[in-house]
């Protein structure tokens, strides 16, 4: 019913680790690796992966959207999921999402909570709940898009119906930068159907830094890098999205003459939290001749911090290994939207015993 696709590039150890993690827990789903590594790294991947691993090779210069599209065209199961090579995605969560989609034919995708974590020595440090917004379950497609942009959190790595996944990916190839490719995928998906958030830990978001520049993936840094290009890229994205809505969705809740205006306002809401006035002024001062150094991003992971009073430390069957659940995860806000039970925590701990990087 479900194919797991693992896109990877020059991370042979991480990719092999997640494959072992899944197979050692008896996941019944087929696993396909979409690899665009450099030749030496590709050979390391083949050596590191279990012998039966199915690896499809792609040119090193292929873009993410093109690679995902090519990979999804290789499968014939009714459901599909992309699993990052540097995150830890849990088999029990994949199974729950698959069962949900089978039982709810009006939902296009399902996922759970995404947590940030890091590994240092034998400590797995679960530091925050990054993505948690509730199910987007409105009946009206434009209402679903509205709720997506109100608190934008990507669900690209959810379990999808393959047909919807393929449609969203095809449209995601229209914009030129990753930021708007991702947003096209998200927007197209919620227009096609509902997206469920289940109360389970779906994955842990890893320590590895992105292989893409912030100006390619983040709206604020895209604006700072080239404001004129940002608005040009946005216009291509907005126009393509409007054309899809007019031809495929045909909503009755918005006058056609007001559609682009509505999309602009939705995205103003989505982009506003990402913009920083201080950093904008800093960049402007550099453009006007001030000798400021370039803006650099802080690393996502800086190491394990001391254990605090309300943190929970779970032990492992592996000698010396421990799982630190920070208070910021156990009592994550908003409390009425995030529910991680002690049973779910125990399930995650037992599953993590199978992970070895």
| CATH code of the domain containing 50 | 3.40.50
Give how far Cα 342 sits from Cα of 64, 101, 201, 345, Å.
37, 25, 12, 5
Tokens of residue 174, six digits: 């229209």
In which domain, by residue range, is 6 found? 1-86
Q: Which of 98, 186, 97, 184 is nearest to 144 (CA)?
A: 186
pLDDT of 301 strictly over 90: no
Residue pLDDT, tens place only, 116-142: 999 998 999 999 999 999 999 999 999
Domain shared by 79 and 111, yes or no:
no
Residues 210 and 336 in one domain: yes
Tell me what pLDDT residue 307 has: 94
Q: How much is the pTM?
A: 0.93
Q: State residue 336's pLDDT score.
A: 94
pLDDT at position 300 is 73
Would 92 be classed as within a structural domain?
A: no
Residue 49 binned pLDDT confidence (cut-offs 50, 70, 90): very high
- Determine the Cα–Cα distance for residues 46 and 32; give it in Å rounded to an integer: 13
Find, among 221, 169, 215, 209, the residue nearest to 192 by Cα. Answer: 169
Collapsed DSSP state (helix, strand, coil) of residue 286: helix
Tell me the pairing of strands 30-35 and 88-89.
unpaired
Q: What is the pLDDT of residue 196?
A: 98
Of 59, 179, 161, whose CA–CA distance to 108 is shortest?
161
224 and 80, same domain (yes or no): no
Of 213 and 133, which is predicted with more confidence? 133
- Closest listed residue to residue 18, CA positions, set 100, 101, 76, 81: 81
């Amino acid at each position: 019913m479900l194919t797991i696709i693992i896109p990877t590039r020059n991370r042979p150890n991480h990719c092999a680790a997640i494959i072992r993690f899944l197979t050692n827990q008896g996941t019944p789903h087929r696993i396909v690796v979409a690899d665009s590594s450099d030749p030496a790294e590709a050979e390391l991947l083949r050596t590191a992966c279990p012998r039966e691993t199915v690896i499809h090779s792609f040119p090193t210069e292929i873009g993410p959207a093109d690679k995902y599209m090519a990979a999804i065209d290789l499968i014939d199961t009714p459901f599909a999921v992309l699993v990052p090579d540097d995150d830890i995605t849990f088999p029990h969560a994949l199974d729950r999402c698959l069962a949900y989609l089978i039982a709810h034919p009006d939902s296009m995708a399902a996922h759970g909570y995404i947590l940030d974590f890091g590994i240092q020595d034998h400590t797995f440090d679960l530091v925050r709940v990054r993505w948690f917004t509730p199910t987007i379950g409105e009946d009206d497609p434009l209402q679903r898009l509205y709720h997506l942009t109100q608190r934008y959190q990507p669900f690209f790595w959810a379990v999808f119906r393959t047909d919807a996944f393929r449609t969203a990916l095809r449209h995601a190839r229209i914009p030129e930068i990753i930021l708007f490719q991702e947003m096209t995928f998200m927007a197209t998906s919620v227009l096609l159907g509902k997206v469920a958030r289940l109360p389970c830990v779906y994955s842990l978001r890893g320590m590895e830094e992105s292989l893409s520049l912030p100006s390619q993936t983040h709206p604020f840094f895209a604006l700072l890098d080239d404001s004129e290009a940002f608005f040009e890229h946005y216009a291509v994205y907005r126009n393509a999205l409007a054309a899809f809505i007019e031809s495929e969705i045909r909503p009755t809740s918005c006058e056609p003459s007001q559609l682009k205006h509505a999309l602009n306002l939705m995205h103003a809401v989505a982009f506003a939290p990402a913009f920083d006035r201080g950093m904008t002024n800093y960049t402007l001062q550099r453009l006007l001749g001030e000798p400021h150094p370039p803006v650099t991003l802080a690393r996502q992971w800086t190491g394990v911090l001391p254990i605090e009073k309300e943190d929970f430390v779970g032990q492992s069957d592996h000698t010396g290994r421990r799982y630190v659940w920070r208070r910021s995860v156990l009592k994550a806000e908003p409390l009425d939207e995030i529910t991680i039970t002690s049973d779910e925590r125990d399930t995650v701990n037992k599953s993590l015993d199978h992970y070895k990087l």
